[in-house]
Amino acid sequence: MRIPEKLERGDEIRIIAPSRSASILSEEGVQIAKEQLENLGFVVSFGKHVFEKDLQNSTSIQQRVEDLHEAFADKHVKGILTVIGGFNSNELLPYIDYELLKENPKIFCGYSDITAIGTAISTQCGFVTYSGPHFSSFQMKKAQEYQTHFFKQCLMQEEPFELKPSEQWSDDAWYLDQENRVFEKTVWKMYNEGTASGELWGGNLCTLNLLQGTKYMPSVGNAILFIEDDEMTIPETFARDVTSLLQNAQSIKALVIGRFQRASKMTEEQLLFILDKHPLLKEIPVLYDVDFGHTQPMFTFPLGGEAQVDAVNGLLKLMRF
């Protein structure tokens, strides 16, 4: 798996909307996120159709694919960030010119629904994409330091590094109220001890499972899986989704689970009950309540990269990204 050229200060980052459009963001939010990226030394540009919207706050397949193609074809653009997640990035997959992307590999980053398109790009083009902050994530003020630190670590350097727990985390609607936030102490937890290293795949679980049975689904057998889900899941749907993925994989090296949102009703008791069902998970390293997914803050990790999991000491390390 190839590694796209790392970002440097002065590079242009193109903002595109392969899922929901930027029309759902406030003008102030767009400005805050843009300034945050500019303060990191980047030049920010926007796709032609980013601020347009349809009945479902997205745009047509043709418009979204056009912005994607233009971003990859533009020699001045060194990195691509998605506006936000949503529900429909998988609509684009049959219409993407993967040869164009393959000839112009570059940083592509987003999470949630973007799992579908990022994974498809990696499997079809043979280069790593990234599960990490959207453009809209840079609106966030509190807890931004952790998010930005690992965004830079993953996308701007080549040396292996450890992913470390945040000091505190939040599941509040920060995009509605930046000041009155509630934080809790972060603790990464171990379900089963052990160590492993290997190729890393994952992202948003229900979105990744949309790719099963298609050519866009990666071979996750003997991989390290990083999975998370959002407030729309409940313990029962997470249980069947993780079962489906494990049956597809048949065998994996390690499982790392991102922290759940409160609205999902996924208590620790429920999660352990689900994990206990699978004999495989008693034989491999398994960590949970880790800093990625739909709570804040989050770290960035590579789809198709390589990682080490130490579920004895609660450590994660990115080796190739």
Question: What one-character-per-residue DSSP string does 279-303 give?
Answer: GGGGSS-EEEEES-SSSBS---EEE
CA–CA gap between residue 146 and residue 73 (Å, rounded): 32
Residues of the chain with CATH 3.40.50.10740: 12-139
CA–CA gap between residue 255 and residue 144 (Å, rounded): 26
DSSP 8-class letter at 94: G
Question: Which one is the CATH code of 12-139: 3.40.1390.10, 3.20.20.70, 3.30.470.20, 3.40.50.10740?
Answer: 3.40.50.10740
Nearest to 49 by CA among 39, 59, 35, 38: 59
Sign of the C-alpha dihedral, residues 210, 212, 213, 216? positive
Strand 254-258 relative to strand 286-290: parallel, antiparallel, unpaired?
A: parallel
Give the C-alpha distances (Å, rounded to integers) separating 53 from 19, 50, 56, 58: 11, 8, 7, 5
CA–CA gap between residue 107 and residue 129 (Å, rounded): 6
Residues of the chain with CATH 3.50.30.60: 162-320
CA–CA gap between residue 69 and residue 101 (Å, rounded): 8
Residue with tokens 């990464």: 188
Q: How far is CA 320 from the centre of its chain?
A: 17
* pLDDT at residue 51 in the model: 98
CB 160 within 8 A of CB 319: yes
Quick check: is 26 catalytic? Answer: no
**Angle of helix 235-249 relative to helix 268-276, nearest 10 degrees?**
30
Identify the active-site residue in 58, 112, 131, 264.
112
* pLDDT at residue 274 in the model: 98
Q: Could you say which architecture CATH assigns to the domain 162-320?
A: 3-Layer(bba) Sandwich (3.50)
Residue with tokens 């409160």: 262
Quick check: is 170 catalytic? Answer: no
> Could you report the average pLDDT of every consecutive run of 10 residues in the chain (321 residues)?
98 98 97 98 98 97 98 98 98 98 98 98 98 98 98 98 98 95 98 98 98 98 97 97 96 98 97 98 98 98 98 97 98
Identify the active-site residue in 49, 69, 134, 294.
294
133: amino acid identity, one letter: P
* pLDDT at residue 194 in the model: 98
CA–CA gap between residue 131 and residue 309 (Å, rounded): 17
Identify the active-site residue in 89, 228, 264, 306.
228
* pLDDT at residue 319 in the model: 98
List alpha helices for 204-280, DSSP H.
205-208, 235-249, 268-276
Quick check: is 149 catalytic? Answer: no
pTM of the model: 0.97
